[in-house]
């Protein structure tokens, strides 16, 4: 039987959705594999491990250490390598997140392994990934050696949660040492609502929003939809919102079920971050705006007229 390690990713003591997607991916690659959920954290690891099992992992391994509270390259590389050396897996699946993009190549280098990154779907034995800022796709096949992939969040659906499911949870003691970076404190900007990187619905504003106050109708619509608010780089550069909301080639790459682009022209750099959304709705007063070329539905009109009406219709539902 083959063994796959599905690495979880915790944030503020809870597992991110991509953790469960790694399990589904491992099962899709080899449905007969022994899928091991791996939890690296500073506390509550057994609870998180059991959650991985509920979402399809056959068993779980946890490493609990105070140096795993916040992500650092050295600490997480040491912890992950200890699990990999102990399990000697045939495959590894991680999320293509900020942490995963840093950790996976470090592990691949230590394992002298190839790495297929940013996978969005699996077609038989081929891994599909976007290239050229999402303008094309390529298919990769792993002929031999370790199957090591990272997956883009919100692309491969997790398995259904079964709270009655149980499995073995083992703990591995790791001596994390010689750290070159130690995080003393983390100051986060206050944010409300849904996490942008994992949102199923996103309402994004561009330069056409015109001001920070212009984002207020977008936040109101997002609240009604249970959505996250994002922005184009143009809106961020203009000071309308914080750069943490930026979506695009130099910002976050998102793939929600529904993406509502408000006052966004559709520059190629922005499209690189959202063009793989399942349904795209564009609202722009310029009928020639490039965003309409990728939109499934388009509304030509003033966003300050359209968005309040849109919000009222949602409220009525």
Structure tokens at 300: 């030509």
Task: Based on the fold, state whether residues 211 and 161 are members of the same structural domain.
Answer: no
Answer yes or no: is 178 within a domain.
no
Task: Based on the fold, state whether residues 166 and 21 are members of the same structural domain.
Answer: yes
Task: Based on the fold, state whether residues 58 and 127 are members of the same structural domain.
Answer: yes
Give yes or no for a contact between 91 and 146, defined as CB atoms under 8 angstroms apart.
yes
Answer yes or no: is 25 within a domain.
yes
Strand 3-7 relative to strand 34-41, pairing: parallel
Percentage with pLDDT > 90 across the chain: 86
Per-residue pLDDT band for 186 (boundaries 50, 70, 90) equals confident
What are 242-292's pLDDT values in tens digits?
999 999 988 999 999 999 999 999 999 999 999 989 999 999 999 999 999
Task: Based on the fold, state whether residues 17 and 132 are members of the same structural domain.
Answer: yes
Single residue among 171, 204, 228 that ends a domain in this structure:
171
The phi, psi pair for 101, rounded to 5°, reads -70, -25
With a cut of 80, say whether residue 8 has pLDDT above it. Answer: yes
Strand 147-151 relative to strand 116-119, pairing: parallel
Q: Spell out a b/e string for 163-197, using b for 16 or more CB atoms within 10 Å of the CB, else e.
A: eeeebebeebebebeeeeeeeeeeeeeeeeebebb
Per-residue pLDDT band for 190 (boundaries 50, 70, 90) equals low
Answer yes or no: is 231 within a domain.
yes
- At residue 184, the pLDDT reads 82
- At residue 181, the pLDDT reads 85
With a cut of 60, say whether residue 192 has pLDDT above it. Answer: no
- At residue 189, the pLDDT reads 65
- CATH code at position 165: 3.40.50.620
Mean pLDDT for the chain? 94
Number of domains composing the chain: 2
Single residue among 136, 171, 206 that ends a domain in this structure:
171
End-to-end Cα, the chain, rounded Å: 51
Task: Based on the fold, state whether residues 17 and 163 are members of the same structural domain.
Answer: yes
* pTM summary value: 0.85
Task: Based on the fold, state whether residues 155 and 222 are members of the same structural domain.
Answer: no
- At residue 276, the pLDDT reads 87
- At residue 62, the pLDDT reads 98
- CATH code at position 284: 3.40.50.1220
Counting beta carbons within 10 angstroms of the beta carbon of residue 252, is it exposed (0 to 12), middle (13 to 18) or buried (19 or more)?
Answer: middle
- At residue 1, the pLDDT reads 87
Single residue among 129, 155, 171 that ends a domain in this structure:
171
Task: Based on the fold, state whether residues 209 and 258 are members of the same structural domain.
Answer: yes
With a cut of 60, say whether residue 41 has pLDDT above it. Answer: yes
Query: Taking the mean position of all CA atoms in its chain, how far away is CA 262?
Result: 22
Residues contacting residue 33 through CB under 8 Å, at least 6 positions apart: 1, 2, 3, 4, 26, 27, 90, 91
Instruction: Give the domain range for residue 261.
Output: 196-316
Residues contacting residue 118 through CB under 8 Å, at least 6 positions apart: 96, 129, 130, 150, 151, 152
The phi, psi pair for 4, rounded to 5°, reads -120, 135
* Mean pLDDT for the stretch of residues 171-198: 81
Task: Based on the fold, state whether residues 162 and 296 are members of the same structural domain.
Answer: no
């Amino acid at each position: 039987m083959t063994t796959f390690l599905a690495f979880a990713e915790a944030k503020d003591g809870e597992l991110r959705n991509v953790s469960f997607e790694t399990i589904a991916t491992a099962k899709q690659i080899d449905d007969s594999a022994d899928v091991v959920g791996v939890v690296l954290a500073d506390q509550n690891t057994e609870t998180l491990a059991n959650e991985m099992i509920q979402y399809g992992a056959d068993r779980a391994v946890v490493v609990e250490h105070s140096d795993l509270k916040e992500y650092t390259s050295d600490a997480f590389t040491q912890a992950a390598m200890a699990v990999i050396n102990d399990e000697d897996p045939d495959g590894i699946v991680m999320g293509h997140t900020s942490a995963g993009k840093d950790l996976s190549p470090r592990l691949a280098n230590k394992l002298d392994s190839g790495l297929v990154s940013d996978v969005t779907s699996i077609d038989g034995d081929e891994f599909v990934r976007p290239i050229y800022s999402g303008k094309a796709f390529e298919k990769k096949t792993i002929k031999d050696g370790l199957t090591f992939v990272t997956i883009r969040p919100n692309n491969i659906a997790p398995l259904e949660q079964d709270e009655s499911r149980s499995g073995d949870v083992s703990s591995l003691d790791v001596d994390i040492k010689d750290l070159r970076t130690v995080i003393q404190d983390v100051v986060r900007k206050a944010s409300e609502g849904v996490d942008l990187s994992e949102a199923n619905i996103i309402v994004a504003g561009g330069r056409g929003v015109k001001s920070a106050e212009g984002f207020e109708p977008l936040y109101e619509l997002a609240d009604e939809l249970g959505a996250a608010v994002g922005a184009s780089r143009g809106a961020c550069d203009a000071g309308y919102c914080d750069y943490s909301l930026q979506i695009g080639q130099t910002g976050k790459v998102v793939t929600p079920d529904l993406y509502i682009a408000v006052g966004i022209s559709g520059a190629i750099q922005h499209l690189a971050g959202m063009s793989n959304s399942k349904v795209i709705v564009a609202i722009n007063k310029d009928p020639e705006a490039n965003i309409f070329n990728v939109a499934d539905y388009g509304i030509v009109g003033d966003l300050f007229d359209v968005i309040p009406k849109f919000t009222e219709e949602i409220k009525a539902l």
